[in-house]
Structure 1
């Protein structure tokens, strides 16, 4: 019997994994798929495990996962906590297909030690996150949430038509994108359709790609000085953590709008209240935070020029189905004895699957 665990949650549900996997051709006839459901997003994700056996942005418990993995050879998941302890306790496990762009809920070194192949799902939420980032920029530039809230309270804010209070357009604006992966490239395409000039700061993007896409590759400081809107799309790492702080905010034009739908850790949040009060920032749009959810005393909770949403950029049904399909495709390739397309660790890069 070929046992597979669909370890989903309330977004990428186990049934989505199950249906997508059963649509793969050439799978073993003795396939047995069991389900496990973690609490996310009803329960926030976070670190799971202790000491050296710890992973980030995970949902569920090590004990529940170990119990569900008994005899399982392949697992499809989004948030399950694959710590060193879980790998040590799951000797039958040979492959984990993670339906995220970065499998931060998996200890990749422990997976390699255990000989378990791990794959990922780059671009699964690129369209959703890109659309959301542009929507957040528009919301902040035109103060759409504030105007809607005021109207609901019975206040007709005709003063927003005053010249000094009026919003700004994307057409003709210079927009800077910090990070230019799958999401950033879609954002750039949409912004150019609006008529914006797009600058990009990304050390991993080559000039030829930027020129082909119709954007201009520049250093971060030049981007900040020139952009009336700055949108963050970098992956969080030791290199990028806190990359936009007080110095960088001071480089931006007065009244500029800052958008972060990537990761809260990219921003140093401490100088943001003063930047907003002083007018250095004309608007701030956040879908991610340094602490999620923000505490009750979050200083920006009532700021009128802040648009804040609870980490929803990737929350579309299409993203859930796409994520499940990418993970199922990787699991299918592995079970057929084929090389996987999106390896996340050395074992997956070297694997030829488990077909006999």
Structure 2
């Protein structure tokens, strides 16, 4: 980064909408809506989907990362009666997390995880984090949701887990690469919802939050005060 150049991001402006999108994916998969949509397209009244239907009530959602997106998601999960485990670098307690563990101890909570939810930055330590070892440690009904960056998930390992029925399903708003090529086999995987990196869109409130962050930082810059939501070179890498 050139000397003297300051870069700030949007802070938590998109977080509520991303959280809503993630929760929608969880509910759609756990209530078997993709199967219902297939039956709808065939004009079939197929009640067999009820065998595999579940509920967020009493389920455990393990979050990889617990920044503003994770917090907003936890806030929305609580009314459903879900239990939240946050796996973070600092393992700092949070009132919206029922349990917090260091990310290095993730393996200890995977066997009791019903939804594994990625909402953390991409870096050397998180690239391919959700791979064969992590997926194999999950219960076979578990869901994987990724609204972080596509490369957090090992795509080959996820595809194999879905095809072999070793997990219950997945919801991806991000893929590696983006856009996902039309001939990529991931498109044809069962129990998978893919959306084209749109989780943050669709709310007028986002624009209001973005404007507020921008105005605040412009005022801070004019006053010689520290800017908020600064992006460090390490994060940008």
> How far, CA to CA, are the matches of 1:291 and 1:260 in structure 2?
14
Show the counterpart of 1:227.
Answer: 113
Aligned partners of 1:157, 1:300: CA distance in 2, in Å? 26
| 1:266-300: CA deviation from partner (whole Å, max 9, x where unpaired) | 01111122211221111111110011111122112
Report what 2:135 is aligned to: 249
The ranges of structure 1 where at least 4 consecutive aligned residues each deviate by more than 4 angstroms after the TM superposition are none
3-state SS, counterpart of residue 129 of structure 1 = helix
CA distance in 2, matches of 1:268, 1:315: 25
Contact 1:243-1:267 within 8 A present in 2 as well: yes
Matches within 5 A, 1:182-221: 182-206=68-92, 209-210=93-94, 212-218=95-101, 219-221=105-107
For structure 2, list consecutive stretches of 5 or more residues without a partner in the other structure.
none
User: 1:1-356 maps to which residues of 2 (within 5 A)?
Assistant: 109-110=1-2, 113=3, 115-161=4-50, 163=51, 166-206=52-92, 209-210=93-94, 212-218=95-101, 219-316=105-202, 317-344=204-231
Root mean square deviation of aligned Cα: 1.8
The Cα shift of 1:313 comes to 0.9
- Contact 1:261-1:313 within 8 A present in 2 as well: yes
Contact 1:201 1:223 in 2 (8 A): no
Greater fraction of residues in strand: 1
CA contact (8 A) 2:163 2:189 kept: no
- How far apart are 1:335 and its partner, in Å? 2.8
Structure 1: runs of 5+ lacking an equivalent: 1-108, 347-356
Offset at residue 192 of structure 1 (A): 2.1
Helix, strand or coil: the match of 1:281? Answer: coil
Report how many residues are paired: 229
Q: Taking structure 1 as reference, are residues 269 and 330 closer, same or farther at Cα in structure 2, changes over 3 Å only?
A: same
The aligned counterpart of 1:65 is: none
Distance change in 2, residues 1:214/1:296 (3 Å): closer
Q: For 1:294 and 1:345, how far apart are their aligned partners in 2?
A: 29
Larger Rg: 1
Deviation of 1:303 after TM superposition, in Å, equals 2.7
- CA drift of 1:175 comes to 1.4
Contact 1:140 1:305 in 2 (8 A): yes
Structure 2 distance, partners of 1:221, 1:170, is 22
Q: Which moved more, 1:116-125 or 1:278-287?
A: 116-125
